[in-house]
Structure 1
Amino acid sequence: MSDRPPHADGAEPRVADDNAPPRDAASVVLIRDGAGGLEVLLLRRHRDVRVLGGHYVFPGGKVEADDAAPDWAPVLDATAESLVARLAEPALTPAQAQAFFVAAARELWEEAGVALVDPPAALPTAAPDVTPGAWRTVLRDAGVRLATGALCPWSRWITPRNPPVGSPRFDTRFFLARLPAGAQARHDAHEASDSVWLTPREALARYWAREIELIPPQLMGLAQLARHATVTAAWAEAQRRRPPCIQPEQFRDGEHRAMCYPGDPLHPVRERALPGPTRLRLVAGRFEPYEGFEGWFR
């Protein structure tokens, strides 16, 4: 939910001087085992939506005020205090930590129809416009709790200052989640117009062929998942490490706009945070590794 690419015609957009604080958001990287290995769910946002129209994204959205409400306590499988440690961000309040988990699960249900609940249950289809507290009521009436344990904190991405025009700044917590047994993901036909399960390499190959549009957090996430053949392997890797905080640094490389990530010589954080390329450049309207397609897998 950051680093929006340029306009579809390939023209590089004007850069805005936007120093507004980023808006909290949460996103879910939903994975399953497929015939060709680990697969990830991507949703295509409607062309006419204001943010990232036409792009393929992981389910997610803004954190809402109700996501932090104390009224959530009876329908959570963990205390808000314990979720601070799960995110490994001691500066967060329990309410803030709760809000990220609730928002992630809520957005997954609203946008993809997948409910992370305990015990597993089929819930009513989400309405396009959900009023504050509506999902909490659905969970309570169904006699289930939101399964925060089904969400594994994966990474945090903060949109850099002065992003391309039309891209608000977000401070997004990404969570890894496994598709529950028997669940079927489907796009909501409101914010999303299509949904697809792809292996990470297939998704990157389709992006390289200009068949789908992706943004850097998704691209780098796919490059990370491409290292894993199974859901079990990806889940184990996510559980044994602290979720990295990624703050891209923008720079000019001759005629190209570019950005780098922790571990790159131009980035202030020297320790590498993610596998894959440490810098991307914008070439003919597409962010790509300096090493070409295989650079995603270095």
Structure 2
Amino acid sequence: MTIDSGGSPNGPAPGTPAFAVPESLVAHARRFYAAGEPPATPRVAATVLLLRPTADGETIEVYVIRRLAAMTFGGMYAFPGGGVDPSDSAATLDWSGPPASAWGDRLGLPPQAAQAVLCAAAREVFEEAGVLLAGPGPGTIVGDVSGADWEEARQALVERRISFADLLRERRLNLRSDLLLPWARWITPEFEPRRFDTYFFVALLPGGQRTRDVSGEADHTMWIRPADALARVDSGEIAMLPPTRVALAEIAACGGLAGLPAAASGRDVATPVLPRLELAPDGTARFLLG
């Protein structure tokens, strides 16, 4: 990726999404490229769009959290998620859904690496939202996990006193990989000091469970219709990075939950989106995704 101070002579491809960029980020990118240092290696990560039907059943709500201001990408609304942990890669756990080899084909990863991404997705959504995508066996899902004993287990997981695989094993539960629909893959721009190679998944909030504001990495959480979230971003009321905004727009275009499986099945989740920064002749900047 480069910063073109004269703008791209050909311009973006027709229909390429573009996003305004804060001046502070442009200055940061200029400093990075002026220094001539190599970009950081992205850390593999996973994030989950938790969805539920609205009370009237007409459309969808998505769960978002606002990252603490002191964190990387702080102040931005995002979905629960985080980096793949070493314990995710080494996990031996009971599994429901497509085998790791099938997930590898879908994500463009070796089977063990694909399993680690799925494990990270399920672990992070439990750590950050208190939702557990697991059940006693295929086709089953655990019920309410908001009790004191479950909270103790969640805290132990967050503090890495127990692995996610061990937690499931102790509770005699299978990870329900079939509850996760693969949606997208994004890589953080090259000029960022902390970069992630993030796989996005969509999951329906399991019946009998509820999200809880338990993430120590967030200062606000909410359920919101994708269209409403996008309107609030456009008005400047809340802030989101391009991957979050694009995912919300794509989910909104599906109309309802019924169309999501078909939409997910046709998506290319092995090829990453790598935003690039373009400066126009007038000095304004924007992210281009195509």
TM range (shorter): 0.7 to 0.9
Query: Percent identity of the aligned residues?
Result: 33
Tell me the residue number matched to 1:250. Answer: 277
Q: Is the 1:157–1:246 contact (alpha carbons within 8 Å) kept by the matching residues of 2?
A: yes
Matches within 5 A, 1:115-264: 115-118=132-135, 119-121=140-142, 122-123=144-145, 124-125=150-151, 126-127=154-155, 129-131=158-160, 133-163=162-192, 168-243=194-269, 244-253=271-280, 254-262=282-290
Q: Is the 2:187–2:274 contact (alpha carbons within 8 Å) kept by the matching residues of 1?
A: yes
Return the match for 2:129 from 94, 106, 112: 112
Tell me the residue number matched to 1:40. Answer: 62
Q: Is the 2:48–2:203 contact (alpha carbons within 8 Å) kept by the matching residues of 1?
A: yes
| Distance of aligned partners of 1:229 and 1:255 in 2 relative to their CA distance in 1, 3 Å threshold | same
SS in 2 for 1:194: strand
SS in 1 for 2:253: coil
| Distance of aligned partners of 1:5 and 1:131 in 2 relative to their CA distance in 1, 3 Å threshold | farther
Matches within 5 A, 1:71-86: 71-72=92-93, 74-75=94-95, 77-86=97-106
SS in 2 for 1:246: coil
| Distance of aligned partners of 1:168 and 1:6 in 2 relative to their CA distance in 1, 3 Å threshold | farther
Q: Is the 1:43–1:57 contact (alpha carbons within 8 Å) kept by the matching residues of 2?
A: yes
| Distance of aligned partners of 1:68 and 1:58 in 2 relative to their CA distance in 1, 3 Å threshold | same
Return the match for 1:23 from 43, 55, 62: 43
User: Could you give the per-residue CA deviations for residues 204-251 of structure 1, whole angstroms, max 9, x where no partner exists?
Assistant: 111122221110100111111121221111232112333252122221
| Distance of aligned partners of 1:129 and 1:4 in 2 relative to their CA distance in 1, 3 Å threshold | farther
Q: Is the 1:75–1:139 contact (alpha carbons within 8 Å) kept by the matching residues of 2?
A: no
Q: How far apart are the structure 2 equivalents of 1:76 and 1:129?
A: 24
Deviation at 1:135, TM superposition (A): 2.4
Deviation at 1:77, TM superposition (A): 4.8
- Structure 2: 5+ residue runs without aligned partners? 1-18
| Distance of aligned partners of 1:252 and 1:85 in 2 relative to their CA distance in 1, 3 Å threshold | same
Q: Is the 1:157–1:217 contact (alpha carbons within 8 Å) kept by the matching residues of 2?
A: yes
Tell me the residue number matched to 1:63. Answer: 84
Deviation at 1:143, TM superposition (A): 1.3
Q: How far apart are the structure 2 equivalents of 1:38 and 1:145?
A: 27
Q: Is the 1:66–1:132 contact (alpha carbons within 8 Å) kept by the matching residues of 2?
A: no
| Distance of aligned partners of 1:189 and 1:159 in 2 relative to their CA distance in 1, 3 Å threshold | closer
| Distance of aligned partners of 1:30 and 1:170 in 2 relative to their CA distance in 1, 3 Å threshold | same
| Greater Rg over alpha carbons, structure | 2
With CA pairs under 8 Å and 6+ residues apart, which has the higher RCO, 1 or 2? Answer: 2
Letter in 1 for 2:274: Q
| Distance of aligned partners of 1:54 and 1:40 in 2 relative to their CA distance in 1, 3 Å threshold | same
Q: How far apart are the structure 2 equivalents of 1:77 and 1:133?
A: 24
Letter in 2 for 1:190: G
Tell me the residue number matched to 1:273. Answer: none
Deviation at 1:188, TM superposition (A): 1.4
Deviation at 1:153, TM superposition (A): 0.9
Q: CA RMSD in A?
A: 2.3
Q: How far apart are the structure 1 equivalents of 2:62 and 2:262?
A: 16
Q: Is the 2:21–2:287 contact (alpha carbons within 8 Å) kept by the matching residues of 1?
A: no
| Distance of aligned partners of 1:242 and 1:60 in 2 relative to their CA distance in 1, 3 Å threshold | same
How many residues are matched? 250
